[in-house]
Amino acid sequence: MIVFTTEQRDGACLVRLFGLFSADDAPSALVERLERVGRGGPLVLDLTEVTPVPGSAVTELIARLEASPRRSATVLVHADLDARRALRSLTRRLPVVPDVAQAVGGHFAAALAPRPSAAAIG
């Protein structure tokens, strides 16, 4: 069973997932729950405490996150180097970093900044 905690960090919604993906966990339902937190702003998703990585559920989770139209940016976090490599092989566009600090204050902080809407450009 997958559970998660949330907190706001430097304008991004930090979500830490915990647990083991099982047949009862639906990645589509998890993505729907993630979309409700943070109200469509930047998402930092820490997968360090989730198993298995990689796995079919994680593969589907990443695909659904990439297809989501509501997020301005999503960054994946995992502390383990081999897991980061596996996650990078699964994603086409989501950055994968080793820790939350790097996601919100490091190289990817600019990606998390809110983007101006097309109507505001003038």
Average pLDDT over residues 53-61: 88
Mean pLDDT of the chain: 83
Alpha helices in 1-122 (DSSP H): 27-36, 56-67, 81-90, 100-105, 109-112
Q: What is the pLDDT of residue 115?
A: 45
Comparing CA positions, the residue from 5, 12, 23 lying closest to residue 73 is: 12
Could you tell me the fold of the domain covering 2-114?
Transcription Regulator spoIIAA (3.30.750)
Confidence grade of residue 19 (pLDDT, cut at 50, 70, 90): very high
CB 45 within 8 A of CB 17: yes
Average pLDDT over residues 2-16: 90
